[in-house]
Structure 1
């Protein structure tokens, strides 16, 4: 690269210091074209809109410009080694990085390692609206010549821009090399109560109740750590981290909660026609899961399976009813413990296929404290985003 940069500097200095050595070539419409053939068989083409553009080049400090090009070409060359023989384009903006220094507006470098064994490559450099440098470098050339084309004022006709693809590939590689990853995801689903035991109210009458399936929603926000167990190719991971969950239980058939300090009943509302009646519980959980995640060659998840458990603590709970009264819609919201179990624990699992992840949670203890409310265990299920 040092030999290449020195040659570029010599070519640019030749253009500015010795314009008399030029000869006219084909002239595009409304453009002035100058063709320079140097003794080492290198050819340099200058395309300018007018003479004023050529004079403006005198304001560039070529030493500083070549230092920039040498640094940028080295970075592009290093990136091309991981590009699987595809073109890599990198863009730099010296004028923005160093305002007030009369630096070039833009430097775009394209490197294509066509044959790593033969040592061939191509570099295209665009500096602002004025300078485009294209270099074909073949280390196996018998004459040890570099084909160099410099265009001033022309358009960059380099290879396709694969910078985004290269960045994506490098991110996946960095992700695969890490032992610990952190992820934020959202769980959306539904709640239900299973294994419910008969419950009698204070007068000894059996009281059964139903939940509205679509209204009994589950939402949780999770910040999870994924720890790889084994080598880089191991699909086994340990997943854990805090989880803030919101369980909603929507009651059907005009029922609502009635609670005292020692007892909670879910009874029919005797005087009101309820449009909505629900219990909401907010808990902070800590899940611990073993996860198998199988990926394709590009690092994308194809199939995953996880299983484990969770434990949590109730942070708050409230009830909310909605009804009509005297022609107006009323909403009553009350906060209380409602004799709910403060500590919750259970089993948790999930399955994923090509980015679609489903989960299920099964509470091992009852929602209400023993003999203080209807007995039943919570099951939550849905999709992870």
Structure 2
């Protein structure tokens, strides 16, 4: 394969494409062959009888190619094509594809993010055809395909395809570019919702006090989470740190016709004797800040696979109230009473999650007592449930 002539032809083609005089003097014409994905074509005949054809969607693609430094780009292409040729000669396969990532190797320079080179041969690198093909995918949106074919009359034809060629449209390429950019970002912000239940552990009531008997389904937990997922290490590292504000709502719904009351500065639980309660609960709103370490592994089709994380949290109580619902004189009544109810203001604990793909389960355990010492029942809150991912 005449590698050097192909690279020089591609270099000239791109140089012409980025030249203002070329843009003024060159006209666009429709391809002579059917094409559903290419809109315009530019045909350039050189003095040595070689013909180059440039296919583009529009003039904007030509202008955007000016961002690349052509000399450096051609050196890269020459180096990578040499490696691809060597691999093709040593391979028994009819096609060898190699991918290079110059942007990662040369951070801070204006070079393509990805270059993919495909060498096709009929007999494992020993081509008996009249020509070979090299496909170069530059960056995440633009692509270039160089075809070198001998016409048997002493001339060569080189076609350079820029933009969306093959099966992918420009819109598809842009979507792929966005997904690739998202994967490469070190920090992601996510909004999630935790839905679960509350229960009390290590309950210790004072002598003569009732212990809380919570309704399992009625004691609900809801949390709105704005989390920052920070990758630690290079692209592809499974180790992440997670933090961000959480607005949590803890509900403790009592059973057995009981309610929370304040008596002589102490929060207790009392049984209602004169009326039947349809609902009786204590609701607490807190603002938390978690810090968790996690391991995240990719699954099939580059989707999230297995993940697990654990850490701690600290928070502050924003508000609280009790609410009872009952019937009286044939009418439904709801009484709401706002107050601190001797609840602990500052809260802290441990939490964790485990998930795979779109399914994620969480658990959160408060290390502090729900109520202040000697002013309420001693107990810790355990919350667990499912996380709704954005």
Q: TM-score, normalised by structure 1?
A: 0.64
1:187 to 186, 190, 194: 194
Offset at residue 318 of structure 1 (A)? 0.6
2:284–2:319: 8 Å Cα contact kept in structure 1?
A: yes
Distance, in Å, in 2 between the alignment partners of 1:356 and 1:136 is: 42
Q: SS of the counterpart of 1:119?
A: strand
Q: SS of the counterpart of 2:156?
A: coil
After superposition, the CA RMSD in angstroms is 4.2
2:50–2:156: 8 Å Cα contact kept in structure 1?
A: no
Distance, in Å, in 1 between the alignment partners of 2:252 and 2:269 is: 12
1:182–1:224: 8 Å Cα contact kept in structure 2?
A: yes
Q: SS of the counterpart of 2:216?
A: coil
CA distance 1:139–1:9, change in 2 (3 Å)? farther
Distance, in Å, in 1 between the alignment partners of 2:205 and 2:258 is: 16
Offset at residue 9 of structure 1 (A)? 6.7
Distance, in Å, in 2 between the alignment partners of 1:114 and 1:232 is: 22
Distance, in Å, in 2 between the alignment partners of 1:277 and 1:141 is: 87
CA offset digits 1:288-334 (Å, max 9, x no partner): 11111111375422111111111111000011111111111111111
2:227 to 210, 224, 228: 224
CA distance 1:141–1:367, change in 2 (3 Å)? farther
| Alignment pair present for 1:357 and 2:360 | yes
1:322–1:332: 8 Å Cα contact kept in structure 2?
A: yes
Q: SS of the counterpart of 1:383?
A: strand
Corresponding residue number in structure 1 for 2:147: 138
1:305 to 283, 308, 331: 308
Distance, in Å, in 2 between the alignment partners of 1:284 and 1:69 is: 49
| Alignment pair present for 1:237 and 2:240 | yes
- Map of 1:257-272 to 2, 5 A cutoff? 257-260=260-263, 262-272=265-275
Distance, in Å, in 1 between the alignment partners of 2:218 and 2:288 is: 22
| Alignment pair present for 1:70 and 2:62 | yes
CA offset digits 1:49-93 (Å, max 9, x no partner): xxxxxxxxxxxxxxxx97446336879xx9xx9xx99xxxxxxxx
- Map of 1:224-373 to 2, 5 A cutoff? 224-260=227-263, 262-296=265-299, 298-373=301-376
Distance, in Å, in 2 between the alignment partners of 1:147 and 1:305 is: 50
Distance, in Å, in 1 between the alignment partners of 2:50 and 2:316 is: 78
1:260–1:338: 8 Å Cα contact kept in structure 2?
A: no
Distance, in Å, in 1 between the alignment partners of 2:166 and 2:383 is: 52
CA offset digits 1:156-185 (Å, max 9, x no partner): xx8544445433433333233322222221
Q: SS of the counterpart of 2:182?
A: helix
Corresponding residue number in structure 2 for 1:62: none
2:134–2:145: 8 Å Cα contact kept in structure 1?
A: no
Distance, in Å, in 2 between the alignment partners of 1:269 and 1:362 is: 31
1:2–1:70: 8 Å Cα contact kept in structure 2?
A: no
Q: SS of the counterpart of 1:176?
A: helix
1:175 to 161, 171, 182: 182
**Which is higher, the Rg of structure 1 or of structure 2?**
1
CA offset digits 1:28-47 (Å, max 9, x no partner): xxxxxxxxxx9x999xxxxx
Distance, in Å, in 1 between the alignment partners of 2:342 and 2:264 is: 7
2:134 to 119, 132, 137: 119
Distance, in Å, in 1 between the alignment partners of 2:174 and 2:145 is: 24
Offset at residue 140 of structure 1 (A)? 4.8
Q: SS of the counterpart of 1:271?
A: coil
Q: SS of the counterpart of 2:222?
A: strand
Q: TM-score, normalised by structure 2?
A: 0.63
**Any gaps of 5 or more consecutive residues in structure 2?**
1-13, 33-44, 52-56, 68-72, 78-96, 99-115, 121-132, 138-143
